[in-house]
Amino acid sequence: MSAPWQGTHGSLPEAPRLLVERAHEELIAGNLDDRRLQEVRPLVRESWERSWRGRVGPEGLPPLDLHAEELEEYRLAHPLASAMDLIRALLLPGSSEDSGVVIAVGDQAGRLLWIEGDAQLRSLTDGMGFVAGANWSEAAVGTSAPGTALALGQSVQIRGAEHYNRLVHPWSCSAAPVRDPETQRVLGVIDITGGAEVVTPQARLLVDATARAVESELMVARLRRRAESPRSRPSPKPRATATARARLHVLGRDRARLETESAHEEAVIELSARHAAILLMLAVHRQGLSAERLCELVYGPDVSPDTLRPEMVRLRKVLERTAPDLVPESRPYRLPVPLETDAHDVLSLLDRGAHRVALTAYRGAVLPESTSPGVEEFRDTVRAALREAMLSEASLDVLLAYADIPEGREDAEVLRLALEMLPARSPRRAGLVTRIERAVGGPA
């Protein structure tokens, strides 16, 4: 199985390599006003200047901050340790030893904790100190994708001579920070290093989407632990602090889960079916809804808005105790602050072409037991978007994974397309033929 970025073409615009190298030499010499520096991407030029002013050396190996036993103990306790299997699955599918890239996962200080991927490339990157335990922050090695991504708090791509350290000029890399899904504190960074293929737009989308998938995985694990130890959680209490973030989980859940975060507190609320439907409709229709329209979406046609109003009163009381900034406004009904949902995350990933990550993030149908017309419509929208992306754009391995979830398991069109894409001698063909026959009630 090929790596997800293999076979992609094109890269972001960049200045000619020779110009970048000469501009780099002028900056190292202290000539910050040299005109060639203006031809270098602003993100890179500003990082170079930070590195130069911080007296970072343009050559030499990065410091090794963590050694053998210390490294092993530290990374076992690191929050990203539990996400390594997911990172490998998304960035190194198939045989990682000949993937053509090296992936690295580091902590919030830029220290690399895990280095995996192509065995031959790793033997080469070791020569520039790209090893577990090494510090690749901007303060240590200057401009690099992992260090600059941490410095800016956003995904970054650095190509060849754009690196501050001359030893890294043969390499290119893309990296994205990973944040705590509740506090938004940076936990670490994910990096892919290799040749030109790792600085394509597709590669940046993939590393970004992987970071978001890791954050979702961390949140799921955290909520599962809380659910298993309900007595360890403090009881919700009234608060007046502003809600910094609110998130609604509706995929594969009969009862939605609302997570809120303020500057000093975090809260998790399990909502009733009606409250879940109301909040989801307000999240979908961010411009607001009249009482009549919201009532129709939640209860169905020919139901008086008087039926909705008592439920809105009860919902307001629930939110006032935990997330007062999220209490809906009226005339029209609307949410005063944005409410993120895991279903919208899937749609966003599909829009960006991150099909593998979108499928991983899809935990099941939207509020599967809800009979609210608006929920049913949105449920169908998410399902249809996922299916359309699988049929029109997904790779074979992603399509086969989709065929294993309930939405694709008996979808004859999906199964037929997968059969067409499989190699003639694939052992999976017989199983697909059987499934197609079962789906259509006769021979495929």
What CATH number did the domain enclosing 288 receive?
Answer: 1.10.10.10
Residue 204 pLDDT > 60, yes or no?
A: yes
Claim to verify: residue 313 and residue 378 sit in the same structural domain = yes
Using CA atoms of 342, 343, 349, 354 in order, give the dihedral in degrees to the nearest 10: 90
Residue 200 pLDDT > 50, yes or no?
A: yes
Q: Is residue 172 part of a domain?
A: yes
Claim to verify: residue 81 and residue 150 sit in the same structural domain = yes
Claim to verify: residue 175 and residue 43 sit in the same structural domain = yes
Claim to verify: residue 161 and residue 258 sit in the same structural domain = no
Q: Is residue 192 part of a domain?
A: yes
Claim to verify: residue 267 and residue 348 sit in the same structural domain = yes
Looking at residue 245, what is its pLDDT? Answer: 67
Claim to verify: residue 323 and residue 365 sit in the same structural domain = yes
Looking at residue 242, what is its pLDDT? Answer: 55
Residue 34 pLDDT > 70, yes or no?
A: yes
Residue 188 pLDDT > 90, yes or no?
A: yes
Claim to verify: residue 136 and residue 37 sit in the same structural domain = yes
Looking at residue 311, what is its pLDDT? Answer: 92
Claim to verify: residue 72 and residue 217 sit in the same structural domain = yes
Q: Is residue 86 part of a domain?
A: yes
Claim to verify: residue 316 and residue 349 sit in the same structural domain = yes
Which residues are 341's β-sheet partners?
Answer: 248
Q: Is residue 22 part of a domain?
A: yes
pLDDT band for position 443 (cuts 50, 70, 90)? low
Which region among 8-22, 152-166, 219-233, 242-256 has the lowest average model confidence (pLDDT)? 8-22
Tokens of 365: 């149908």
Q: What are phi and psi of 120, to 5 degrees?
A: -65, -45
Residue 367: half-sphere exposure toward Cβ, Cα within 13 Å: 31
Return the CATH number at 45.
3.30.450.40
- Per the document, the length of the chain is 444
Nearest residue to 166 via CA among 12, 20, 11, 15: 20
Question: Residue 332: is the preceding peptide bond cis (ω within 30°)?
Answer: yes
Looking at residue 237, what is its pLDDT? Answer: 45
Separation CA 56–CA 169 (nearest Å): 16
Tokens of 44: 């890179």
Claim to verify: residue 270 and residue 319 sit in the same structural domain = yes
The last residue of one of the domains, among 355, 386, 417, is 386
Claim to verify: residue 48 and residue 187 sit in the same structural domain = yes
Claim to verify: residue 131 and residue 201 sit in the same structural domain = yes
Q: Is residue 208 part of a domain?
A: yes
Q: What domain range is 119 assigned to?
A: 17-223
pLDDT band for position 240 (cuts 50, 70, 90)? very low
Proportion of the chain above pLDDT 90, given as a percent = 51
Using CA atoms of 159, 160, 162, 167 in order, give the dihedral in degrees to the nearest 10: 140
Q: Is the dihedral of CA 102, 105, 106, 108 positive or negative?
A: positive
Q: What are phi and psi of 111, to 5 degrees?
A: -80, 125
Question: What's the pLDDT tens digit per position in 355-364?
Answer: 777 887 888 9
Q: Is residue 96 part of a domain?
A: yes
Residue predicted with more confidence, 180 or 67: 180
Separation CA 326–CA 329 (nearest Å): 9
Q: Is residue 373 part of a domain?
A: yes
Separation CA 342–CA 32 (nearest Å): 46
Question: Long-range pairs for 236-239 at CB < 8 Å and ≥24 separation?
Answer: 236/267, 236/269, 236/321, 236/322, 237/321, 238/320, 238/321, 239/264, 239/265, 239/321, 239/322, 239/324
Q: Is residue 250 part of a domain?
A: yes
Query: For the chain, how many structural domains are there in total?
Result: 2
pLDDT band for position 381 (cuts 50, 70, 90)? very high
Separation CA 201–CA 195 (nearest Å): 14
Tokens of 185: 């504190």
Q: What are phi and psi of 192, to 5 degrees?
A: -120, 130
Tokens of 295: 């009532």
Looking at residue 395, what is its pLDDT? Answer: 82
Q: Are 178 and 82 in contact (CB under 8 A)?
A: no
